[in-house]
């Protein structure tokens, strides 16, 4: 009996507890407790699979204006969502800082969906970091098929192993004279300012830190709030796009958020425009601080949006006069028209006629910096 009893006790014996689980090690943080938090161990070993990117501070901006009617070319809500996801991917691949969705006054194909708001909701959902979507993006029928959308994988959407000095966060409850912030780590952050809950903020950490190097129960990190432009202008990180709605095409230009507006504008149309691959177009690209690309509807004509604008006293055939450059991406294409998502790739890559536009952008940015120094 004693031998069988010992065997049962051995079987029932539980394994010793370990504290190797990084997600649950340590007590929850209590601001009223005198117990000190754990000592932070910073690792310099980033994920080996992540590409080492060379990024330079950038002060110029790129804006893309697209018509709301672009989603009318997709017949179902699923296909509209997938189309919006393709557009968003093209925007972030080419570092677009501002997206303007303008109403081109076309009759909606689906009366149940407002294309202006639908496109804005999907693009905003994709731009918001995954750990903030539950707090910042309310549920809406337009986002029914959000699971079909691809991840953007931009610097402000860091993974667990990616150490970043800047992060996006959402304010939580107040703590004394400061505010706790959820920055997508197991460890909270703390701002010295009092901000109401549910506000999205960009914060700067004392040093680059990855979520994998944090634990629950640690004392909040003291951070400071910065402008959303700071990661781009100081560290060269692409920090996503912001969205603006325009009630007409003219308001795309007149309601620009930048002082002095857009100093270089490019119109893209499949009708009555210069061949994009014409060698002479490259010489017309000048130095700029704020660049605007304006695209037409699914049919490829920007002239239709201009003619439908009641605030513009401009005929469709005079549309080219509104832009510094007015080009046609499909002049040498094997198809009669080029879809919007393909046209974005054409121009933002940006091959303004046969040359790598990114080199042109860098050259113009260098000229702008030289002028500022002198």
Ordered per-residue pLDDT tens for the chain, 374 residues? 555 555 555 556 555 554 444 444 344 445 555 444 444 444 443 443 444 455 688 889 999 999 998 888 888 999 999 999 999 998 998 899 999 999 987 766 566 889 999 999 999 999 999 999 999 999 999 999 999 999 999 999 999 999 999 999 999 988 888 999 999 999 999 999 899 999 999 999 999 999 999 998 889 999 999 999 999 999 999 999 999 999 989 999 999 999 999 999 988 887 777 766 666 666 777 788 999 999 887 765 788 888 888 888 777 778 888 898 888 776 666 666 666 666 666 555 543 333 344 454 555 555 555 555 55
* CB neighbourhood size of 56 (10 A): 8
Q: Are 200 and 131 in contact (CB under 8 A)?
A: no
Q: Are 166 and 217 in contact (CB under 8 A)?
A: no
The Cα 74–Cα 110 span in angstroms is 10
The Cα 254–Cα 235 span in angstroms is 30
Helix ranges restricted to H, 73-156: 77-93, 115-127, 133-136
* CB neighbourhood size of 92 (10 A): 17
The Cα 296–Cα 305 span in angstroms is 7
C-alpha distances out from residue 352 to 127, 237, 270, 294, Å: 27, 24, 15, 14
Which tokens go with 38?
A: 């754990």
The Cα 356–Cα 299 span in angstroms is 26
Cα 259–Cα 89–Cα 64 angle in degrees, nearest 5: 25
User: So what's the pLDDT on residue 51?
Assistant: 47
Which tokens go with 289?
A: 């601080």
The Cα 103–Cα 309 span in angstroms is 9
The Cα 180–Cα 191 span in angstroms is 6
The Cα 170–Cα 182 span in angstroms is 5
User: So what's the pLDDT on residue 304?
Assistant: 84
Q: Are 239 and 156 in contact (CB under 8 A)?
A: yes
The Cα 163–Cα 156 span in angstroms is 11
Which tokens go with 348?
A: 């933002």
Using alpha carbons, select from 327, 351, 329 the residue that is nearest to residue 340: 329
Q: What are phi and psi of 220, to 5 degrees?
A: -55, 145
User: So what's the pLDDT on residue 72?
Assistant: 85
């Amino acid at each position: 009996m004693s031998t069988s009893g010992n065997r049962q006790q051995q079987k029932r014996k539980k394994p010793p507890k370990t504290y190797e689980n990084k997600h649950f090690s340590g007590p929850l943080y209590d601001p009223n407790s005198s117990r000190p938090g754990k000592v932070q161990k910073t690792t310099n070993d980033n994920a080996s699979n992540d590409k080492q990117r060379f990024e330079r501070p950038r002060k110029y901006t790129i804006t893309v204006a697209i018509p709301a009617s672009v989603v009318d070319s997709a017949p179902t809500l699923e296909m509209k969502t997938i189309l919006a996801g393709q557009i968003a991917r093209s925007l972030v691949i080419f570092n677009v800082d501002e997206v303007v969705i303008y109403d081109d006054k076309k009759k909606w194909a689906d009366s149940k969906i407002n294309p202006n708001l639908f496109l804005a909701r999907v693009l905003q959902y994709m731009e918001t970091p995954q750990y903030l979507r539950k707090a910042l993006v309310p549920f809406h029928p337009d986002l029914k098929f959000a699971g079909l959308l691809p991840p953007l994988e931009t610097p402000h959407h860091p993974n667990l192993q990616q150490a970043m000095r800047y992060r996006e966060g959402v304010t939580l409850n107040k703590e004394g004279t400061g505010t706790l912030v959820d920055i997508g780590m197991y460890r909270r952050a703390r701002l010295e300012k009092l901000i109401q809950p549910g506000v999205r903020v960009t914060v700067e950490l004392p040093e680059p830190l990855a979520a994998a190097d944090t634990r629950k129960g640690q004392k909040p990190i003291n951070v400071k709030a910065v402008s959303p432009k700071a990661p781009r202008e100081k560290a060269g990180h692409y920090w996503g796009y912001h969205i603006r709605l325009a009630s007409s095409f003219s308001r795309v230009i007149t309601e620009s958020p930048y002082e002095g507006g857009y100093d270089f504008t490019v119109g893209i149309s499949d009708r009555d425009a210069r061949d994009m691959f014409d060698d002479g177009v490259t010489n017309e690209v000048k130095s700029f601080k704020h660049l605007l690309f304006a695209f037409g509807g699914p049919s490829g004509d920007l002239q239709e949006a201009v003619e439908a604008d009641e605030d513009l006293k401009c005929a469709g055939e005079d549309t080219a006069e509104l832009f510094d450059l007015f080009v046609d991406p499909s002049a040498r294409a094997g198809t009669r028209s080029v879809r919007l998502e393909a046209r974005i790739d054409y121009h933002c890559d940006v091959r303004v006629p046969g040359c790598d536009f990114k080199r042109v952008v860098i050259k113009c940015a260098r000229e702008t910096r030289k002028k500022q120094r002198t």
